[in-house]
Each structure stands twice: as structure tokens, then as C-alpha cells.
């Protein structure tokens, strides 16, 4: 029998954090955590075709999924670099979404700060939203979304 203990190298969120399933922020763009990105049933049920991994370390996409992955080695720290990665992230999302069948999961370890910040940057680039509008919108869809203060400052520079 399979072990119920995760063999992932990433620190698992504590049970008290109530890990949320992936949230559809805009049509075909989801924010989630590492567990969603490494879960075959989740990827299949959402029809995920692209994964943007906004964390350091390797995401273990289950075998048998022809998923295009962009790995951005982001750290979740107010002092970490985000802005330099945003052009690649937004280009990856834009290119993926040109295919009407594409569905993108943007994830980090907990699905709270890094992944939410990347999707906010995409909303700013795609729709001309202010950082405040983007953050508020993402939080309205995913209540635990919380870009760290340093990332919010970098979103303002990016806008």
C-alpha cells in the first residue's frame, strides 16, 4: 500500500492551515499549492495542460501528463526578487491561453504568496489593472491569497 506520508521534499503546510484546492482566478487560470501540482487526480479533473511553478525546487508532475512546465525559482520573502521573473511568467501565461483548450495551474508551496503574486502580475499586464485591483480580485477568488509586502511593492514597479 502507498504510504500516507508525503515523500515531497517541500515542507507541507500544517493541517491547521487548511490547504485549499486550486482556485480558478480567471477562466482557465488556477492558483494552487505544491500538492495540487503533484496530484494526478487534481491535474486530470481540472484538465491542466501547463504548470507555472513559482518556487525553488523541482515539482514532481505525475508520469503520463504531457504538461508544459515553467519553473521560476522564487523565494517567499519580502526581500526576494520577483519583478525580474514577471515578463517570463506573463509571456508563459499569455502564450498558453492562446490555445482555447489550455488550462494553467500557477503554484507555489502553499498557494498563498508567490503564485498569487504571479497571477496578479498577469492581470496587470493583460488587463491594465492596478496592483491594488489585481490583489483585491485574486483575494476575492482565493481568500487565503496574500502576496507578501515586498512582492506587492514589486507589482507596483511592474505596473
State the pTM of this model: 0.88
Q: How many domains does the chain have?
A: 1
Mean pLDDT on 12-35: 81
- Cα gap 65→48, rounded to integer Å: 9
Which single residue is written with the C-alpha cell 526576494? 80
Interval 54-99: pLDDT, tens:
999 999 999 999 999 999 999 999 999 999 999 999 999 999 999 9
More confident residue, 140 or 13: 140
Of 8-22, 39-53, 75-89, which range is least confident?
Answer: 8-22
Does residue 102 lie in a domain region?
yes
Q: How large is the average pLDDT for residues 133-138?
A: 98
Task: Answer yes or no: are the C-beta atoms of 104 and 23 closer than 8 Å.
Answer: no
- Joined together, the cell numbers standing for residue 54 give 513559482
Owning domain of residue 124: 23-158
Residue 8 located in a structural domain: no
The 3-state DSSP class for residue 21 equals coil
pLDDT at residue number 5: 45
Residue 32: name the closest of 14, 15, 55 by CA. Answer: 55
Q: Which residue out of 43, 108, 135, 138 is catalytically annotated? A: 108
Residue 120 annotated as catalytic:
no
C-alpha cell at 148: 507578501
Beta bridge partners of 23: 31
pLDDT at res. 94: 98
- The 10s digit of each residue's pLDDT in 28-37 is 999 999 999 9
Domain containing 115 — which CATH number? Answer: 3.90.190.10
Q: What pLDDT is attached to residue 18?
A: 55
pLDDT (0 to 100) of residue 55? 97
* 19: confidence class by pLDDT, cuts 50, 70, 90: confident
Q: Does residue 3 fall inside a structural domain?
A: no
Which of helix, strand or coil describes residue 94?
helix
7 in a structural domain: no
Q: What is the predicted pLDDT for the residue at 37?
A: 98
6 lies in some domain: no
Does some domain include residue 4?
no
Helix (H, G, I), strand (E, B) or coil at 51: strand
In the DSSP assignment, the letter for residue 14 is P
Is residue 135 in some structural domain?
yes
Flag whether 68 is in a domain: yes
* H or E stretch at 32: strand 29-32
Amino acid at each position: 500500500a502507498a504510504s500516507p506520508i508525503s515523500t515531497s521534499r517541500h515542507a507541507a503546510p500544517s493541517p491547521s492551515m487548511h490547504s485549499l484546492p486550486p482556485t480558478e482566478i480567471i477562466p482557465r487560470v488556477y492558483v494552487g499549492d505544491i500538492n495540487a501540482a503533484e496530484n494526478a487526480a487534481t491535474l486530470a479533473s481540472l484538465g491542466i495542460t501547463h504548470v507555472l511553478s513559482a518556487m525553488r525546487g523541482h515539482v514532481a508532475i505525475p508520469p503520463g501528463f504531457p504538461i508544459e512546465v515553467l519553473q521560476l525559482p522564487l523565494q517567499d520573502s519580502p526581500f526576494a526578487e520577483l519583478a525580474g521573473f514577471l515578463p517570463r511568467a506573463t509571456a508563459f501565461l499569455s502564450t498558453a491561453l492562446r490555445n482555447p483548450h489550455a488550462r494553467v495551474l500557477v503554484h507555489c508551496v502553499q498557494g498563498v504568496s508567490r503564485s498569487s503574486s504571479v497571477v496578479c502580475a498577469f492581470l496587470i499586464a493583460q488587463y491594465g489593472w492596478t496592483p491594488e485591483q489585481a490583489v483585491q480580485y485574486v483575494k476575492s477568488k482565493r481568500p487565503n491569497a496574500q502576496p507578501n509586502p515586498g512582492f506587492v511593492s514589486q507589482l507596483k514597479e511592474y505596473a
